């Protein structure tokens, strides 16, 4: 897995990347009550705002971690946004994307680098 400074995790699955937020981010946000996901087929550029999360504390935007296309979203979050808090690294994933360039992953943090980043 790779990590961004925006507290997203990226897990390669073949030619796709599964994207969610880290346990650290989910804890900081508090209880998540709503998640607005992008439409499959959406082409995104790194840094685009593509997911909106609302928690009891605040609303937050999730940015596209890479250039590519959204190919699948986690429909379970529509009925149960708390999955992001309960299981951020498995059941609480947001979307799967096909990156334009898989080598962009090389510029992201490893788990140990992310742990150092969050202190």
Q: Which residues of 70-96 are buried (b: 16+ CB within 10 A; e: fewer)?
A: beebbeebeeebebbbeebeeebbbbb
Cα distances from 22 to residues 39, 56, 111, in angstroms, run 22, 18, 11
CATH code for position 79: 2.40.50.100
Asked if 9 contacts 111 with a C-beta cutoff of 8 angstroms, the reply is: no
The answer to the question of residue 119 being in a domain is no
* Tally of structural domains, the chain: 1
The answer to the question of residue 20 being in a domain is yes
- Cβ of 26: how many Cβ atoms within 10 Å? 24
The answer to the question of residue 79 being in a domain is yes
Give pLDDT tens digits along the chain (119 positions).
999 999 999 999 999 999 999 999 999 999 999 999 999 999 999 999 999 999 998 899 999 999 999 999 999 999 999 999 999 999 999 999 999 999 999 999 999 999 999 99
The answer to the question of residue 112 being in a domain is no
Q: What is the pTM of this model?
A: 0.94
- The residue range of the domain holding 61 is 2-101
């Amino acid at each position: 897995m790779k990590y961004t400074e925006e507290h997203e995790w990226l897990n390669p699955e073949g030619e796709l990347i599964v994207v969610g937020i880290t346990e650290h981010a989910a804890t900081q946000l508090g209880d998540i009550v709503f998640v607005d996901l992008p439409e499959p087929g959406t082409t995104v550029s790194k840094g685009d705002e593509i997911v909106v999360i609302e928690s009891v504390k605040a609303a937050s935007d999730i940015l596209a971690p890479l250039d590519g296309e959204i190919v699948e979203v986690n429909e379970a979050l529509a009925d149960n946004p708390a999955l992001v808090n309960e299981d951020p690294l498995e059941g609480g994933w947001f979307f799967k994307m096909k990156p334009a360039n898989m080598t962009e992953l090389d510029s992201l943090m490893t788990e140990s680098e992310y742990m150092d980043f969050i202190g």
